Chains A and B, each alone.
Chain A
Amino acid sequence: MLRRRPAPALAVLAAALVAAAGCSSQGGRQAEEERAADAPALTIAMITHQAPGDTFWDLVRSGAEDAAAKNGATLEYSSDPEAAKQATLIRTAIDKDVDGIAVTFAKPDALQGAVDEAAEAGIPVVGLNSGIEYWQEAGLIEFFGMEERLAGEAFGDRLDEEGAEKALCVIHEQGNVGLEERCEGLEEAFGGDVDRLNVDGASMPDVSSSITSRLQEDDEVDYVATLGAPFAMTAIDAVAATGSEAAVATFDTNEEAIRAIADGDLEWAVDQQPYLQGYMAVEGLWLHVANGNTLGGGTRPVLTGPSFIDAGNVDEVAEHAAGGTR
């Protein structure tokens, strides 16, 4: 940069020298720094229903952090998987008088009160990841995410294309509406049989043993569908351990899942691009506050998926996954 375009850098250097030696009262670096300080240094709160330690949310969060850093904004990330506690975190952000709030709208009814309070306080709220059916009615100004049911249907269609006959839908968090919708979408679109299997996603040994015993009990299963990337890794091991012929495919991705696709252990991953969700939510808020823009015009969600990662495009994706952004 310095070598290619010396003029601006030299000008700044010269201005700095003048400012230091002759104490120019205007222009130069001082003025530039003051201008930078005048630009809106926004504080944006992102409040998700993340359970601790899921790789998916690392991607959402790094997207949000990158967008904040690029815009000179401060990102304050907090999360709680329980709806009432997530609502309290939103109130905390309102108390702090942040410039914008991004929420995952997984449990719309429990969050509505807090969202209304934000609106009363004049703080714009956007949604991401979950709640695509509810965001507009709830008064969020923008939404970034994927339609869960559509993703499930896309997954089911793909199973038909592959000629699958019986799939196992592994639900790693009982009671999560989004996960249920994925399974429902899959069941609707897929021509074959679908069995659901509830596992305890907080305990990988449980995930592994549940899948293993199910495959041992039922040898007709030819596809295992996991609803999160970490569980796909466990499913691959479980399938190998039973000597079953079943293939594994998953919703969502992480670095390991992408490596597994490249290695041929995992068939595909339905990607909702979590990095993009986090990034766009912050970017959208920033544009709204700094420039009055509304992505999607306030009537349409901004879709971040579903897209497929499979053997055909995995190399390209892998490059970015290594950097922790896909």
Chain B
Amino acid sequence: MGPAPALPAPGASEKELRAGRVPPLRRLAARPELGSLLGAVVLFAVFFAAAEPFRQAGSLATVLYAASTIGIMAVGVALLMIGGEFDLSAGVAVVTASLATGMTAYQFNLNVWAAAGISLALALLIGFLNGLILVRTGLPSFLVTLSVFLMLQGLNIAVTKLVTGSVSSRSIADMDGFDSVRAVFASSVPVLGTEVRITVLWWLLFTALATWVLLRTRAGNWIYAVGGSADGARAVGVPVAKVKIGLFMTVGFFAWFSGMHLIAASGGVQQSGEGVGNELLYIMAAVVGGCLLTGGYGTVVGAAIGAFIYGMTKQGIVYAGWDNNWVMFFVGAMLLLAVVVNSWFRSRAGGRR
């Protein structure tokens, strides 16, 4: 991925750009994901040295799997953050999608793929409503999505209890279409002699796709423009409202995808109380990867590295035999470090912010 054609390489100064000569090292230092890349390399080296089991290919597959479960959502969340908004409802929306698939399939005796379609529509609708409320009210996305997050959390449990009489959806593992759903969303594929979970491949594909959209399409330019300055973007004719609603619906799509993985991996049984707190992990991955909270800056590749750092920390501590209680401390420390390093590089590179 090179720099965006229509946008300046993030961080390069106007003068350098006009002169058409950005020194290569400087260009590297100006990349939003540099801090996270360095962090990932250091962390990998530490665990490689400290934890003998970490060195096996199978372990790397497990780390990548843990990263992918956060990383797939982080693709959507990073796009949204580049577009200048937040989505706090993303964590529970995943479980909503999973529950919707499980319960519609079971209650209406549907083929699991049909239920998945209904669930997709619902997930997109949630994203659409998030975006619509935001655009119509002009409220900060923090507040809008916080409200939706809390409502979904309540709905997940209340509706599940109403429909199934218990707090989890019923098993749909023996229903038509489940096997192929499982093959698509939760199988393992051999890669170079190691069983790799399919979500890892999807994660890489989505990251590549989103990067292409950001850097090579008009929509990508719009996203950067809307996140950088919504008013400025509007002035030059960018459909700001549509872009924002579209971004929330993109998050909705990835929430559906992650939800499908959850339901497929758990044999069709989804606990209704889960997902809370994961939204912050997605945001964490995007921010570690160089996305700014203010929008207009960042990459999806960075978010993927952020998710990888999370997966490495979370599993690496177990591989090293260290006390599991410390995981979140290290995740937080990585976040702080990455943010500080990112901001230092930005200022050193004479960035725009």
Contacts and interface: CB of A to CB of B under 8 A. Distances in A.
Contacts of A92: 59, 62, 315, 318-319
A91 B65 contact: yes
Contacts of A82: 274-275, 278
A110 B267 contact: yes
B166 interface: yes
Given A88-B315, A92-B319, A176-B167, A107 B269 contact: yes
A164 interface: no
Contacts of B324: 77-79
A74 B323 CA distance: 13
B137 to A, nearest CB: 28
B278 to A, nearest CB: 8
Interface residues on B, range: 35 or more
A98 to B, nearest CB: 9
A89 interface: yes
B69 A84 contact: yes
A112 B267 CA distance: 8
B266 A83 contact: yes
Contact of B168 (A78, A113, A175): A175
Interface string B41-62: 0000000000001001011001
Interface residues of A, number: 31
A109 B166 contact: no
B58 to A, nearest CB: 5
B54 to A, nearest CB: 8
Given A52-B325, A92-B318, A96-B53, A177 B265 contact: no
Given A95-B59, A175-B157, A109 B269 contact: yes
A76 B317 CA distance: 11
Nearest to A52: B325
A88 B66 contact: yes
Contacts of A76: 318, 321
A248 to B, nearest CB: 24
B171 interface: yes
Nearest to A43: B321
A174 B273 contact: yes
B342 interface: no
B268 interface: yes
A173 interface: yes
A76 B323 CA distance: 8
A97 interface: yes
Nearest to A175: B273
B171 A109 contact: yes
Contact of B274 (A83, A93, A95, A113): A83
B271 interface: yes
A180 interface: yes
A113 B265 CA distance: 8
A76 B168 CA distance: 30
Contacts of A107: 168, 266, 269, 271
A103 interface: no
Nearest to B69: A84
B167 A78 contact: no
B272 interface: yes
Contact of B167 (A84, A93, A177): A177
B303 interface: no
Interface in A278-299: none
Interface string B121-146: 00000000000000000000000000
Interface string A52-74: 10000000000000000000001
B198 interface: no
A87 B168 contact: no
Contacts of A89: 315, 318
A91 B315 CA distance: 10
A110 B272 contact: no
Contacts of B247: none
B265 A84 contact: yes
B69 A95 contact: no
Interface in B192-226: none
Contacts of A177: 166-168, 271
Interface of B: 53, 56, 58-59, 62, 65-66, 69, 157, 166-168, 171, 173, 262, 265-269, 271-275, 278, 314-315, 318-319, 321, 323-325, 328
Interface of A: 52, 74, 76-79, 82-85, 87-89, 91-97, 107, 109-110, 112-113, 173-177, 180
**CB-CB nearest 7 A-B residue pairs:** A175-B273, A110-B266, A109-B267, A78-B324, A109-B269, A96-B53, A95-B59
Given A92-B59, A175-B157, A175-B167, 14 more contacts: A52-B328, A76-B318, A82-B274, A83-B271, A84-B69, A85-B314, A88-B65, A96-B53, A109-B171, A109-B267, A175-B168, A175-B272, A177-B166, A180-B166
